[in-house]
Amino acid sequence: MSAGRKRAFDKEEALDKAMRVFWENGYSGTSVTDLTAALGINKPSMYAAFGNKEQLFATALEHYMVNYRAPILQQLTEPPEAPLRERMKAFLCSVIDLVSNPASPKGCLFVKSCCESGSVAIPDDITSSLGNMVLDHEEMLANLLEAERQRGQLPESAEVQIIAEYLVTVMAGLSVQARRGKSNEALKALVDMIVSSIPGAAKD
Partner DNA sequence: GTAATTTTTTACCGATTGGTACATAATGTC
Partner DNA sequence: GACATTATGTACCAATCGGTAAAAAATTAC
Q: Tell me: does residue 33 bind DNA (CB under 7 A).
A: yes
Rounded to whole angstroms, how far apart are CA atoms 114 and 69? Answer: 15
Q: Tell me: does residue 9 bind DNA (CB under 7 A).
A: yes
Q: End-to-end CA distance of the chain, in Å?
A: 61
Q: Report what 26 binds from DNA, a copy of itself, none; CB cut-off 5-8 Å by kind.
A: a copy of itself
Q: Tell me: does residue 3 bind DNA (CB under 7 A).
A: yes
Q: Report what 32 binds from DNA, a copy of itself, none; CB cut-off 5-8 Å by kind.
A: DNA
Rounded to whole angstroms, how far apart are CA atoms 67 and 5? Answer: 30
* Shortest distance in whole angstroms from residue 79 CB to a copy of itself: 26
| Region of 41-49, 80-88, 137-145, 178-186 interacting with DNA (CB under 7 A) | 41-49
* Single residue of 16, 17, 20, 34 touching DNA by CB under 7 A: 34
Rounded (10°) CA dihedral 140, 123, 117, 129: -10
Residues that bind DNA (CB under 7 A): 1-9, 30-34, 41-45, 47-49, 52-54
